C-alpha cells in the first residue's frame, strides 16, 4: 500500500461525500438510533461498496491503457455532473434542513401514556443502518471515483483504504455533530468544490488518454 495515494484518495472522496446523501442519511439514522449502532451498521456497508468499486476498477484495468484512461475520465466526468447538477444526492435542501433541525432524540422517547418507550434493539439499528447506506451508495460520486482511481493507479488496496476512510469519517462527523455541521457548513459550496475536483480529474485523465 502507498500511504500517499491513500491520503490523496481520502482528500478527494471526503469533499464529495460531505454534501452527499451519506451525511444526511447517517444523520437521520442517528436521530432515531444510538450513534454507535448506526456506525456499526454503516461502516460494513461502506466496506462492501468500496470493495465493489475497487473490483470494478480492477476489471477496467484489464483493458488497454488508453481505454482505461478514457473510461476513467468518463467516470470522473459523470461524478462531476452528479455533484454539480444533482440535488444533493437525492436529498434536497429541505431534507437537509429538516435533519439539521431534528431534535436530539436517540432510541428512546415519551409514549402516549407518558412512559418511556422501550429502546429499539441494537441488532435492528445496525441492520437498518447497513441497509439504508448500502442501498444509498450504489452509483454515487464516491463509488465512481473509487473505481476510476483504481483503474488509473492499479493500487486497489491504497484506493480502498483512502475511500473507506473518507466514508467512515463523514459518517462519524454526521453522528457526532452532523446537525451543527449542516447549520454552519455551506454544503452547496462544498458540492461545487468537489464537482470542480472531479471535473479537473476528468480533463487531466482525458488529456492523458489522448496522448497515450
Q: How many domains does the chain have?
A: 1
pLDDT computed for residue 70 by the predictor: 79
CA distances from 68 to 60, 73, 124, 136 (A): 6, 9, 42, 26
pLDDT computed for residue 20 by the predictor: 67
- Paired strand residues for 116: 110
Instruction: Compute the mean pLDDT over every residue in the chain, rounded to the nearest whole number.
Output: 75
The residue range of the domain holding 161 is 3-103+117-211
Which residues touch 143 (CB under 8 Å, ≥6 apart)?
A: 49, 50, 52, 53, 137
User: pLDDT tens digits, residue range 39-90?
Assistant: 999 999 999 989 998 998 888 777 776 777 777 777 777 767 765 775 544 4
Indicate whether 151 belongs to any domain: yes
User: pLDDT tens digits, residue range 11-31?
Assistant: 988 887 776 677 777 877 887
Indicate whether 39 belongs to any domain: yes
Indicate whether 58 belongs to any domain: yes
Indicate whether 109 belongs to any domain: no
CA distances from 161 to 3, 13, 20, 38, 117 (A): 9, 11, 20, 21, 40
Indicate whether 132 belongs to any domain: yes
User: pLDDT tens digits, residue range 103-147?
Assistant: 444 444 444 444 334 445 788 888 888 988 887 777 677 788 888
pLDDT computed for residue 54 by the predictor: 93
What's the rounded Cα separation, in Å, for the pair 54 and 107?
35
Indicate whether 164 belongs to any domain: yes
Amino acid at each position: 500500500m502507498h500511504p500517499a495515494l491513500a491520503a490523496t484518495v481520502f482528500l478527494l472522496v471526503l469533499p464529495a461525500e460531505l454534501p452527499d446523501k451519506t451525511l444526511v442519511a447517517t444523520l437521520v439514522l442517528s436521530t432515531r438510533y444510538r450513534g454507535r449502532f448506526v456506525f456499526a451498521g454503516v461502516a460494513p456497508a461502506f466496506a462492501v461498496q468500496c470493495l465493489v468499486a475497487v473490483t470494478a476498477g480492477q476489471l477496467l484495468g484489464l483493458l488497454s491503457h488508453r481505454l482505461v484512461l478514457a473510461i476513467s475520465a468518463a467516470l470522473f466526468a459523470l461524478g462531476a455532473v452528479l455533484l454539480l447538477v444533482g440535488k444533493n444526492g437525492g436529498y434536497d435542501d429541505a431534507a437537509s434542513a429538516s435533519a439539521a433541525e431534528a431534535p436530539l432524540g436517540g432510541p428512546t422517547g415519551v409514549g402516549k401514556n407518558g412512559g418511556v418507550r422501550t429502546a429499539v434493539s441494537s441488532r435492528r439499528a445496525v441492520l437498518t443502518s447497513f441497509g439504508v447506506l448500502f442501498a444509498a451508495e450504489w452509483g454515487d460520486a464516491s463509488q465512481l471515483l473509487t473505481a476510476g482511481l483504481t483503474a488509473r493507479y492499479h493500487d486497489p488496496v491504497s484506493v480502498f483504504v483512502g475511500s473507506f476512510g473518507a466514508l467512515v469519517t463523514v459518517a462519524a462527523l454526521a453522528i457526532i455533530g452532523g446537525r451543527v455541521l449542516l447549520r454552519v457548513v455551506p454544503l452547496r459550496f462544498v458540492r461545487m468544490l468537489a464537482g470542480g475536483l472531479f471535473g479537473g480529474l476528468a480533463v487531466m485523465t482525458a488529456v492523458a488518454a489522448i496522448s497515450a
